[in-house]
Structure 1
């Protein structure tokens, strides 16, 4: 048995065929990768610049930003924060795109504790045709000849009763 045939020598023999220049190139390349990694939210041009390997377009302006990956290792698209105009739930960070006034325009809004989108409803005094339209969930005629209006719920059991 040769005294130099231990595991340390085997490892040394595996490294010998590599030219020294390739090791130096590996170190240089590794430093460049580490220096170019950007954190979430920083501007980027390609996926490789980001620590997350995700560089996606910001829909409000033409810039691209580093974004996180999902648990399934997919890049998350940028989504609009609350208050921005939207036309679909998928455009919003909260996944809630609803009307917030009498205008037909919709905006990104927050979700409830139960992860539901709360639709905008008419305030008390506005004309209505169903209970669902009113924030009080109460749409009634105040008199037989008057139009239906949103009114606050009244009484001990908070019922829809005329004022």
Structure 2
């Protein structure tokens, strides 16, 4: 009976140790300082693990005043695939190629794609700055032309 009491006492003494060890293990994982490499938000003291440059490595960073974790965004001129990659939230083609780039929005906060200048070859009205793509005669290919007439219509020259 005495040995059973000792065994029970020993078990009771050991029980609180296991949860404390587990808590310390998780505290160590979840308390990385700002600037340390991380993979998930829960690893950081700030609960914020994001990229801070073109490098895909994530780092612990401070949250904004509004408690948000903001990733680094590409400035104008950088190659992009999606609007969300850019600081301006505007990712468009900016020349004759198919590559898209981060571009500033207009004064009216519009994200306008690059369009072909007048007299360039075209297939659709939407390709032209003038939004006017027509054939100049029956044998010529379509070209971007300035809108004309009193009502600025897309008319042949």
CA distance in 2, matches of 1:143, 1:70: 61
Q: 1:92 to 1:63 in 2, by over 3 A?
A: same
In the TM superposition, residue 139 of structure 1 has moved relative to its aligned partner by: 0.5
Gaps of 5+ in 2: 1-32, 38-43
Structure 1: gaps (5+ residues): 1-36, 39-43
Contact 2:90/2:102 (8 A) holds in 1: yes
> What residue is the counterpart of 2:21 in the other structure?
none
Taking structure 1 as reference, are residues 60 and 139 closer, same or farther at Cα in structure 2, changes over 3 Å only? Answer: same
Matches within 5 A, 1:79-158: 79-158=73-152
Structure 2 counterpart SS, 1:90? helix
What whole-Å deviation, never above 9, does each CA across 1:28-57 have from its counterpart, x for those lacking one? xxxxxxxxx98xxxxx33755xxx875632
Match for residue 51 of structure 2? 57
Count of equivalent residues? 118
Partner of 1:161: 155
Q: TM-score, normalised by structure 1?
A: 0.60
Compute the TM-score of the two structures, normalised by the length of structure 2. Answer: 0.63
